[in-house]
Amino acid sequence: MEQVFAPWRIEWIEREDRNERFDGCVFCELPREKADRENYLLARSEHAYVLLNNYPYSPGHAMVIPHVHTGRYQELEPESLLALNRLLQYTLEAMDDALEPDGYNVGYNLGHAAAGGSVPDHLHAHVVPRWEGDTNFMPVLGETKVLVEAILETYDRLHDAFATQETATATDSDSAVVVDLE
């Protein structure tokens, strides 16, 4: 039987300790905390930010998330839409430099039916780096655990790659890189 690679089936999953920490929308509240590295928040711009997935489908699995709280892609203002996609470009550049994948899956799960148990009210673009021959990779519990332990290592590599890009400013390794998209 052929295995189907379906990265969108694995959504952003809140860690146990986070469920109690946030009253409201986690994607609205995370960037307001001053704990970027701890939260895996890699980079921010005026309109959007980049977050590594808690339980990545593959190393480097990230999300680009607008600051505006909406689950409807149709409702994004042109300014937010452009800034979101510019930051997505930056993310791909950083991943090219830091992880050298052979390709990417990039996409959205929109609406409750498609998004499952995730955060359907605040849209987010998944960016999943892919390598030749990784199609048999299925995130069974054991493998997922290994990846979770590797997240901080991936975080630091990508953080460095973001920091070396034009118009990027890194204050320290614990804070997200600030990307000026103007």
Contact residues: Zn ion, CB under 5 A: 25, 27-28, 69, 122
104 DSSP β-pair partners: 129
CB of 4 to Zn ion, least distance (A): 30
Angle between helix 141-163 and helix 78-99 axes, rounded to 10 deg:
100
Q: Which is nearer to Zn ion, 25 or 146 (CB)?
A: 25
- Of 65 and 147, nearer to Zn ion (C-beta) is 65
- Smallest gap, in angstroms, from Cβ of residue 73 to Zn ion? 14
- The least distance separating Zn ion from the CB of residue 68, rounded to whole angstroms, comes to 8
Q: Which residues contact 143 (CB under 8 A, 6 or more apart)?
A: 137
Supply the DSSP symbol for 112. Answer: H
Least distance from Zn ion to the Cβ atom of residue 119, Å: 7
If residue 9 lies in a helix (H) or strand (E), which one and from where to where?
none
Contact 129, 60 (CB under 8 A): yes
Among 37, 40, 65, smallest CA distance to 127 is for 65
Judged by CB, which is closer to Zn ion: 26, or 106?
26
Based on CB atoms, which residue is closest to Zn ion, 122 or 157? 122
